[in-house]
Amino acid sequence: MEIPQNLTQFKTTYYYKTDLVKLCRKFCLPAVGTKAELNSYLIAYFSGIPARDIKPKRKNKAVKTLKAEEISLNTKVVGSGFKFNNEARKFFAAYFGLSKFSFKKEMAIVKRKAEKENDTEMTVEDLLQQAQILSKNQIDQVAEELTYQWNNFVRDFFQDKDTSNFHEPLKVAALLWRHVRSATDEKVYCHELLTKYAQEISSYRAN
């Protein structure tokens, strides 16, 4: 794994979550959380904020994990010991009358948001209701989802040999990303973008 020396290097390199954990530990930053949270700590650090001033976005407390029979719709999502584990699967399987239950992406997003905001009032029932009304558009706007998409986009952009003809290539990638992110198509880089937006990015081509 390459160790970034500045913000530009960090933003133009794709890192797996395990890599981000290692970088956070190397720079004495909080090393626990979602990929988006780890990413935010490193961006803050490379933006000039001292490591000692970068605080974790969530506080982990040692709480006994709940058993399936201890979980109900009134169980608090934060601070009660409720976790997305086999015990919770048993509860939801019984609640929905299923032989097997799998956690949905929407449920994970709602739960992470509650933990990040330390929402100690949210119940399991609230979690299910909010997960049901979470639209695909809202999912796409979640920081972690956008982090994955942007990092993959930049990685693929720099792997295209034709992008080496640009000065300030990261600015070109950002311009193309704005178009891709606002479109209804899949949020990925493809070579055809260089042709489609050729006029807009022409000023960045090296002479």
pTM above the 0.85 mark?
no
* pLDDT one-digit tens code per residue, 113-136: 888 777 888 999 999 999 888 766
Long-range contacts made by residues 180-183, C-beta under 8 angstroms, separation at least 24?
180/153, 181/146, 181/149
Mean pLDDT of 92-113: 91
CA distances from 49 to 27, 34, 54, 100 (A): 12, 20, 7, 46
pLDDT tens string 171-205: 999 999 999 988 877 889 999 999 999 999 999 98
Of residues 162, 156, 160, 158, the one with CA closest to residue 189: 156
**Residue-averaged pLDDT of the chain:** 88
- Residue 109, token pair as written in the block: 């997003």
Q: How do the domains of the chain map onto residue ranges? A: 7-53, 68-134, 141-204
Element (H, E) at 192: helix 192-196
